[in-house]
Amino acid sequence: MSTVKAQQSGVFYRCPAPEADPYVREGGHVDPGQTIAVIEAVKTYNPVKSESGGTVTRFLLDDGVQVAPGQEVAEVAD
């Protein structure tokens, strides 16, 4: 199992917009480099990408939560 970590500080969001579906749901498959969330900092939305492929077993943060660089945001099982 690996974890996806935030690359910067900001506000964590699992969806591209408030009414949109999440980039990926728990239990969903991701490919290496796939965007699984975004971090908003100063009105700029930066992608959070999975480094490995597999299944997202769980997100470790809720939408709208402040995140710090290096903080784990999701778990991915091979």
Label residue 77 by pLDDT band (50, 70, 90).
very high
Domains of the chain: 2-77 (2.40.50.100)
Supply the pLDDT for residue 15: 95
Convert the pLDDT of each residue in 10-68 to its tens digit.
999 999 998 999 999 999 999 999 999 999 999 999 999 999 999 999 999 999 999 99
* Strand blocks (E) in the chain: 2-5, 10-13, 29-30, 35-41, 44-49, 54-59, 65-67, 72-77
Is the pTM here over 0.85, yes or no? yes
Residue tagged 């498959």 (tokens): 29
* Residue 58 β-bridge partners: 75
Which of 21, 31, 33 shows the shortest CA–CA distance to 55?
A: 31
Using 50, 70 and 90 to split pLDDT, how confident is the model at 2? very high
To the nearest 10°, the Cα dihedral for 54, 46, 8, 41? Answer: -140
